[in-house]
Amino acid sequence: MSIARRIRDITVATLNERLEKAEDPVRMIDQFLWSTREDIIQAEKLHQQYANHSNHLRSQWLQAEAQKERREQQAMTALKAGEENMARIALHEKASCEERSAQYRELYEQSRQNTMDLEEQLREMRSEYQTVYDKREYYAARMESVRLQQRMNSRVQGGVSDGAHPGTMFRQMEDRISDLEQEARSLRDVRRMGREFDQGGVGNTVKSVIERELAELKRKLEKEGWSS
């Protein structure tokens, strides 16, 4: 396992713990997704380079194999013609081709194995990306639920503090109307008594008492800053 692979394993392993402590888990997930996506892009480029290199090595290996077989056929043809020296030269070149074929085959197999390992890492990284993306959707939904709950709480609290509750509002209206009705009845009674007073329906003694109390009320009102 590569160092980069181990680092990614550590990051994924601790992501859940970091999310639980984060104030904005969606933002942290977005950062992780962005970083993972960059890793995937780089790994895909490397995979393509490995694939091209493997194809080149395979071509060199097969070419060396073809040359080896051709030199062997040339050696046999030389022996049939009685040209042993030419046969030796062809066999020498065959040995060189065989060595080159073995070298390229070894390089090809190493490159092919690395390509397969990289393909496996890419599958894991894509799977991780999808898993974390799904987690992002979950945390985004939770954050939206929290925001909506906060807005609802704020609206309910605002309504109560402003006295906008229907029950409270109608009680206030009832009290105000009752006060106005009481004032109207009081004013009506006062005016009726005033007419009776002016028409002589009240004795002189009572009038004297009323005038005295009226004067006393006027003095109290003057002290309170009232002027007629």
Q: Concatenated DSSP letters for the chain?
A: --HHHHHHHHHHHHHHHHHHH-S-HHHHHHHHHHHHHHHHHHHHHHHHHHHHHHHHHHHHHHHHHHHHHHHHHHHHHHHHTT-HHHHHHHHHHHHHHHHHHHHHHHHHHHHHHHHHHHHHHHHHHHHHHHHHHHHHHHHHHHHHHHHHHHHHHHHHHHHHHTT--HHHHHHHHHHHHHHHHHHHHHHHHHHHHHHHHHTT-S-HHHHHHHHHHHHHHHHHHHHTT---
Tokens linked to 49: 């380079």
Rounded to the nearest 10°, the torsion over CA 140, 141, 146, 147 is 70
Residue 4: band (very low, low, confident or very high) from pLDDT cuts 50, 70, 90: very low
Supply φ then ψ for residue 201, to 5 degrees: -80, 0
Tokens linked to 219: 């003095």
Q: At what angle do helices 25-80 and 84-161 cross, to 10 degrees?
A: 170
- pLDDT beyond 80 at 225: no
Q: Do 87 and 75 form a contact (C-beta atoms < 8 A)? A: yes
Task: Tell me how far apart the alpha carbons of residues 46 and 89 are, in angstroms, rounded to a whole number.
Answer: 42
Q: Residue 174: left if φ>0, alpha if ψ -120 to 50, beta else—which one?
A: alpha
- pLDDT beyond 90 at 58: yes
Residues in the chain: 228
Candidates 27, 3, 4, 28; CA nearest to 125 is 4
- pLDDT beyond 80 at 124: yes
Least confident piece of the model among 2-16, 65-79, 158-172:
2-16
pLDDT of residue 218: 78
Higher pLDDT, 165 or 124: 124
pLDDT of residue 110: 93
pLDDT of residue 51: 92
Higher pLDDT, 32 or 184: 32
Determine what percent of the chain is predicted with pLDDT higher than 90.
Answer: 24
Q: Do 37 and 132 form a contact (C-beta atoms < 8 A)? A: no
